[in-house]
Amino acid sequence: MPDPTIVILTGAGISAESGLGTFRDEGGLWARHRIEDVATPEGFGRDPDLVHRFYNARRAQAATARPNAAHRALARLQAALPGAVHIVTQNVDGLHEAAGAREVLHMHGRLDRALCGACAHRWPAPAEMHRSDPCPACGAAATRPDVVWFGEMPHGMERIWGLLESASLFVAIGTSGEVYPAAAFVEEARASGADTLELNLEPSSRISEFARARFGPATEVVPAWVEELLAG
C-alpha cells in the first residue's frame, strides 16, 4: 500500500474563528469592498492608495490573530504523518505557520510579504505599506502586496497539480468553492482516484463533487476528524 498523500485545501473559513473575516459570508469582505476595486491589478492601477489601505487593515488584523484549534489540528496531523500531509491555502494570513504547520503553499500569496511591481523582488512586508515605498532592490516606487489578485496566476500551480495527481485523500476546509482554479481541485483529485472530504460550516457550491462531508465550525470538525484519522 503506497504511503498516503493527503492534500488539504483551506479557505477563509478555517481562520473565521480566529477573528479574520471571510469573503462571502454575511458581512464578509466582499460585502464591504468591490472585488474590482481592491483585488484586481486594474483596481490597484486606478487607486493604489485604496488597495494599500484595504491590505494594511487586513495585515493589522492578521497580525493580532491567533491560530485556532483547526490550524493546530492540521499541524498535529502533519507532524504525525511526516511528508504525507500537504497544506495548500487560499488564505493570505500566516495562521497555519503560527500553529506549527510546515511548507504551507500559499497559492494566493501572503499579507506579510511585499512585491515590487517593477522588478518582482519580494521582501517581508512592513505593517503599513504605501505606494511611495521604494523597492529595496531596484528603488522603484512600485510596491504592492504580494497577493494574487483576480486575473493573476496563483502560485505553485505545477506543484499543486502534481500533489493532486498523487493524492489518496483530498480535503477542502472552510472554502466556498467559488474561486478558480482552487474550486476545481476536487475534480482533479477525484480524477486521480482520491477519496474526497469537505469540512465546512455549511455545504459549499462544490459539495456535490465530494464523496464525504462533515459540517460544523472548523474548530470542532477539524480536530475531531484529525483525531479519528490518527486513531484509525
Binding interface with ligand BV8 (CB under 6 A): 11-13, 16-17, 22-25, 28, 39, 90-92, 108, 147-154, 174-176, 178-181, 200-202, 204, 217-218
DSSP annotation of 110: E
Nearest to ligand BV8 of 168, 217 (CB atom): 217
Work out how close the CB of 105 gets to ligand BV8 at its nearest, in angstroms, rounded to a whole number.
13
Work out how close the CB of 167 gets to ligand BV8 at its nearest, in angstroms, rounded to a whole number.
19
DSSP annotation of 167: -
Catalytic pick among 108, 121, 130, 155 = 108
Whether 9 and 172 have beta carbons less than 8 Å apart is answered as yes
Nearest to ligand BV8 of 138, 191 (CB atom): 191
Nearest to ligand BV8 of 103, 152 (CB atom): 152
Residue nearest ligand BV8, Cβ-based? 13
Report DSSP letters for 106-131, one per residue: ETTEEEEEEEETTT--EEEPPSS--T
Q: Phi first, then psi: what are they for 198, rounded to 5°?
A: -110, 130
Work out how close the CB of 148 gets to ligand BV8 at its nearest, in angstroms, rounded to a whole number.
5
Annotated catalytic, 71? no
Whether 126 and 138 have beta carbons less than 8 Å apart is answered as no
Task: Give, in order, the Cα–Cα distances in Å from 208 to each of 212, 213, 223.
Answer: 9, 10, 24
Sort residue 139 into left (φ over 0), alpha (ψ -120 to 50) or beta.
left
Work out how close the CB of 204 gets to ligand BV8 at its nearest, in angstroms, rounded to a whole number.
5
User: Which 3 state secondary structure label does DSSP give 107?
Assistant: coil
Work out how close the CB of 156 gets to ligand BV8 at its nearest, in angstroms, rounded to a whole number.
13
- Cell numbers at 97, concatenated: 505557520
81 burial (CB, 10 Å; 0-12 / 13-18 / 19+) is middle
Nearest to ligand BV8 of 37, 84 (CB atom): 37
Nearest to ligand BV8 of 92, 129 (CB atom): 92
Whether 199 and 225 have beta carbons less than 8 Å apart is answered as yes
Range list of H helices, 86-156: 95-98
Active site residues: 108
